[in-house]
Structure 1
Amino acid sequence: MLKLLHRHIFKELLAIFGLAVGCLLGLILIGRLLQLREMLLGQSLGVLDLALIFLYLTPFFLVLLLPIACMLSVFLTFLRMSTDKELTALKAGGVSLYQLLPAPLAFGLVCACLGLACSFWGLSWGMDNFRHTLVDFVQTRTRLALQAGTFNRDFMGLTFYAHQVDNDTGRLKFVFVQDKTRKDVTVAIVAPEATIRTESEEGRLAVDFKNGRIFRLAGQHLDILHFGAYSLRLPLASLLGGMSANDSRPSEMSFARLLALRSAPPDSPEAARFPRKKVEVELHKRLALPLACLVLGLFALPTACVFRGLKSQYGLVLSLGLCLVYYSLFSLGVSLAEAGTLPPVLALWSPNLLFLGVGGGFLWLAQHERAGQLVERLAHLRLRRRTA
């Protein structure tokens, strides 16, 4: 009977988990798409291209979302069982709360293993492919679409303006380009006509001016140059704000690379580029977040029993609020560890230990019927305040 019960609970946990991960991941990826919309609008990307980009971003977000989804699944499942009096019936049949632990424990272990896989290998794989794919799309598919009578600042330090624009042929009329990429030097190009085109093989954007002038201002000195033909070449990768295919931060590296950076000599170039403190914080973060699936799952089970009788919508809000508390404490720990106020071990593992201790206390209270129906007590106190 217990095996059948555990199988039923595990299936319900999986169903809620899939729904939670799908909704949360969809919202985050849509938000990421809105952040990249200006960059992606100039590229001829199809649905499959966008799906590929989102696939590469998924492991990065899963590391953060798995603990939330795990806690939501356990909390909502056992809140429903408690509200429907299933837990009361099981207890009357001789099944204790401790005997129900194998299903959420196994579920939390599966989520933790998935989180560790994403943390150790999936995150770096996804971010490396995301950068390579995005740089490749920009270099091979970008076509700068200018709007007539509007200043365009897609390229950092450059301002484009054209009075008339034909984006089909790339021809521009009455063109003005201002270049402020060099310090203390401003260059302005003015021409009655120009042509803009993409050199995909070289990964450049070419602007060919005709019969114009170049104004170069350095300090108080102004140079003016007349030309019959002049070409401006711009690297398309600059549209990514300096992102390159091989540039990565500690938060995007594999676990093995982080271990290698931590053991690098203090006078090495890697140690100068990536401070050991941030590397140490990232290593503990990669372990603490996946194992939080187990911790939050164990915390959610007795919490659902304590708040039995709560409606599902309020239970969802409560569980999200508890997740917010956990991530606020975790973010505070990351900040304190990076600032050197607390050791990374203490700062990043304290939220897990705190929720594990509170969850263990709630579990003991719920098993021994000492927690009471907290929701009913709160409602009773609220009613007394109204009648007072």
Structure 2
Amino acid sequence: MRLLKIIHRQIFKELVQLFLLIGSCLLGLILVGRMLQLRELLLSQNLGVLDILRLFVYLSPFFMLLLTPIACMLSVFLTFLRMAADRELTALKASGVSLYQLLPAPLLFCGACTLFSLYVSLYGVSWGMEQFKVSLMEFARTKTKLSLQAGVFNQEFPGLTIYAQQVDLDSGDIRFVFVQDKTSKGLTTTVVAPEGSVTTDPAKEQIKVMFKNGRIFRREGEKLDVLHFGSYTVRLPLGNMLRKMGFERISPKELSFERLLEFDRDSELMSKVFDLDRARKVKVEIQKRLALPLACLVLGLFSVPIACVFRALKQQHGLVLALGVFLVYYSMLSVAESMGESRVVPPVIGIWLPNILFALAGGVFFRQAVRERVPGPVLWAARKLQRRRPA
């Protein structure tokens, strides 16, 4: 009994170490790629290291929802593949320890990954995306070329020319401001004011330039109107630029689970916010938010017998094999997602089908692995991979 506790502790420790290593590497690669894609939005990179890390933290939950099942599966697969290749499993079997008795450690680990992924799915995704957009707009106002630079005619937004003689980026206060608006065809609006301020409106995804105690000159053809005002606001649509980079104002993938359920229950509210295609995506996203966390448990346990079968493989080849298995799972999930959005199959059936099939296959393979029997197709694949190994 004491021996089993030591074995479980060592297996669990190795699983956690591999999960942290694999998860951090995959997440880092994806985040770096995403930041390179955002260079067009940020225009000039004046962000500090802490600012970039802050954006990384906010983006992480969105990607961790998908990466957690991959990292969980690879951790279990590589751990048991190493144990099988080092003949540790053979030695344990000779000592009377069956494969069933080794299950508590991977079960506990996969259960912890499932709970973590479920928390990210229900709360983390929406929190991260909301904070990411707010921070991105704030950085755009204060730390990139989208901010108003003193003594420079800023023309970052098509049709708008903004000039300020004095700019305080910390407070957003500006003095001696000139704005020319040519966004309306045949109409030129010029605003001149002694003072104003720059603020962001995260809810509407806008940068607002507010003027005080100035004049508006409107010219349409030969007609010129002059207006005096106490307060006047020009709204810069930063949200349009965000959407060009793939961030929508209201996307089912970025909503909290509670908000998704609210839309699903209230068809009238759904029709006001989403069109028919996105309404289908809401129903699919609800099932996906539940199915992906459970995939940690399903794919993790599926990896145990597969690692025992392919025990002669090197770890780098085993890594490729495990990624191929996940690619099959994700392809099935993507097809089911598309079919659910097009109403070919109900989302509750299509999204859960990959988990059901892999759970059934894992049960069959596990039973065969305990009996030290290998299904014909798996044995054929194992022999093919072993023959291709370099000498």
The answer as to whether partners of 1:187 and 1:215 remain within 8 angstroms in 2 is yes
The answer as to whether partners of 1:140 and 1:200 remain within 8 angstroms in 2 is no
Give the aligned length.
Answer: 350
The answer as to whether partners of 1:138 and 1:237 remain within 8 angstroms in 2 is no
User: 1:81: which partner in 2?
Assistant: 83
Partner of residue 318 from structure 1, selected from 309, 316, 321: 321
**CA-to-aligned-CA distance 1:103-153 (integer Å, 9 cap, x gap):** 11111100000001001111111111112222222233343499xxxxx99
User: 1:200: which partner in 2?
Assistant: 198
The answer as to whether partners of 2:298 and 2:359 remain within 8 angstroms in 1 is yes
Unaligned runs of 5+ in 1: 147-151, 161-167, 169-176, 190-196, 207-213, 217-222, 228-232, 384-388
CA RMSD of aligned residues (A): 4.0
Structure 1 residue 38: deviation in Å?
Answer: 1.9
**CA-to-aligned-CA distance 1:196-220 (integer Å, 9 cap, x gap):** x9953474579xxxxxxx998xxxx
Separation of aligned partners in 1, 2:250 and 2:382: 52
Q: What amino acid maps onto 2:115 in structure 1?
A: C
Partner of residue 286 from structure 1, selected from 280, 289, 294: 289
Range with bigger deviation, 364-373 or 18-27 = 364-373
The answer as to whether partners of 2:242 and 2:248 remain within 8 angstroms in 1 is no
Change (3 A) 1:303 1:242: closer
Identity of aligned pairs, percent? Answer: 49
Separation of aligned partners in 1, 2:383 and 2:46: 60
Change (3 A) 1:12 1:328: same
User: 2:48: which partner in 1?
Assistant: 46
Q: In structure 1, the residue corresponding to 2:351 is in which secondary structure? A: helix
Change (3 A) 1:256 1:204: closer
Structure 1 residue 52: deviation in Å?
Answer: 1.0
User: 2:383: which partner in 1?
Assistant: 377
User: 1:230: which partner in 2?
Assistant: none
Q: In structure 2, the residue corresponding to 1:200 is in which secondary structure? A: strand
User: 2:271: which partner in 1?
Assistant: 271
Separation of aligned partners in 2, 1:45 and 1:382: 48
Change (3 A) 1:52 1:376: closer
Task: Please give the residue correspondences for 1:51-66 in structure 2 after superposition, counting only pairs within 5 Å.
Answer: 51-66=53-68
User: 2:103: which partner in 1?
Assistant: 101
Task: Please give the residue correspondences for 1:1-388 in structure 2 after superposition, counting only pairs within 5 Å.
Answer: 1-42=3-44, 44-144=46-146, 155=157, 157-158=158-159, 181-182=183-184, 185=185, 200-201=198-199, 203-204=207-208, 223=221, 235-238=235-238, 241=241, 247-264=249-266, 266=267, 268-274=268-274, 275=276, 276-371=279-374, 377-378=383-384
Query: TM-score, normalization: structure 2?
Result: 0.76
Structure 1 residue 248: deviation in Å?
Answer: 2.9
Separation of aligned partners in 2, 1:51 and 1:378: 44
Change (3 A) 1:143 1:363: same
Structure 1 residue 42: deviation in Å?
Answer: 3.6
User: 2:171: which partner in 1?
Assistant: none
Unaligned runs of 5+ in 2: 149-153, 162-166, 168-179, 190-194, 201-206, 211-217, 226-232
Separation of aligned partners in 2, 1:381 and 1:144: 58
Query: TM-score, normalization: structure 1?
Result: 0.77
Separation of aligned partners in 1, 2:368 and 2:300: 17
Separation of aligned partners in 2, 1:158 and 1:69: 48
